[in-house]
Structure 1
Amino acid sequence: MAEADLGGARYEIGAVISRAFETIGSNFLLFCGLALVLAGTPQLVLGYWQAINFNLHGGAADAAIFYSGSYWGMAGLTWLVSIVTGAILQAALTRATVMHLSGETPQFGALLAVGISMILPMIAIGLIAGIGVGIGMLLLIVPGVILWLVWAVVTPAYVQEKVGILEAFSRSAALTSGARWRIFLTMLIVVVLLWVLSIPVSFLTAAMIATGNALLTAFVGAAVGALGSMVMVAVQASIYVELRQLKEGIAPSDLEAIFA
């Protein structure tokens, strides 16, 4: 993952992260609304089901539920729904981030429409990337990490540039070339930040479990997962914007003209 020449320009990790969080802060209700509805709802349903059947009634006897058909049926259904809603969320938040950085005002309805229109391609991209990275992880982890970095901006490339699925993977490889170490550090910093923020939430979750309130327990877990997804999508889109500017000289304000 050696760094290549970026034409004298430098990929700024701090700028990428601050840009992503500034975008979220400026559109907080919009981003949280999309994340909670699309990513949080499936997690809430599964979490509530788990809470009323297992978490709040802990004991050795209850462990049998994890071997039951009902558990795996619910988990499988939730997983399928989350694939669809997650695809919509990724496309919608990617557009929202690029629009904001371009000086436009993202709107809930328009973003949702974009996400829905891209469901099947986004699912395909997720499956291809997931299988590729998964196989790479089995090969002593490093190949999987490299593929993950090579394809770090495949979603923004597809959503913003209206290219084909395979071309989006090629675009991501071209854009990330020469900057993958810095992309790795960017994602590492964000993951650590999310982990640190999750520490107090874990205490809150434990407190909710102690109260015996299944709905609150499930909601806390779903909200944390949804907000984590929101941050990661915004960071990926911010990385994409940074790479387009560094490698192709396209300012954020020009990206919407290209999309149109």
Structure 2
Amino acid sequence: MGRVQDKVALVTGGASGVGRETVKLLLEEGAFVAISDINVEAGQAFAAECGERALFVRHDVASEDDWRAAIAAVQQRFGPLDILINNAGILIPGSIATATLAQFRQLMQVNADSCFVGCQQGIEAMKERGGSIVNMASVSSWLPIEGYAGYSASKAAVGALTRASALYCRNNSLPVRVNSLHPDGIYTPMMQASAPGVPAKFLLFDAQKNPKGRAALPEQIAKVLLFLASDDSQAISGAEIRADSAILGTGL
């Protein structure tokens, strides 16, 4: 028996990066998984590769209608939803001096609004049977990063929303857990695009070879998401889980 055997999961941004690795791991551990993504070509190809226990859903995470359609499609194909991984997000650089209001609003819409709607509809879908929601945040939720003011604000909102959602579930006796995961960098296509031409060895954290590195591998983060999605973390809700290789202690 796998750690999420026969549970039904929805992973947003599931066609690439951390989402892709999380989908693969959930499937290996026995789940039925819906791959949510706005990239139809990549999502459909990945779902076909994954087999009958996977489903692709074209999904704009900032759209309430798309959320309703995605959850309905998952439940029609596999049954009631047990796990929601709010992983989809974007990264736009910009300090408080250089970022535009349009960029700030776009970051909030994709990174934070998506978690608001996802938590709202996810809790509604899980409130009878129970389940686990994990929201992807960032160390920038609490660690000042001058060049990513809007991104940091959006991820801080995800952390606050997570805590409020988890408390709502507790106070209303709903068997739904809501947690946020706060990685430092993750070596995904999004990170590679923000550091063009920089070899992985200079970005990845390695205690011996590169202790100043900032990035984890997507599969390392996927393992933490699996733990938070599974019943192994039944005692955890409303938590900010840091997957940051102790970056807070360095003062960076």
Q: What TM-score does the superposition give when structure 2 sets the normalisation length?
A: 0.28
| Structure ranking higher on relative contact order (CA contacts 8 Å, 6+ apart) | 1
Structure with higher helix content: 1
Q: What TM-score does the superposition give when structure 1 sets the normalisation length?
A: 0.27
Larger radius of gyration: 1
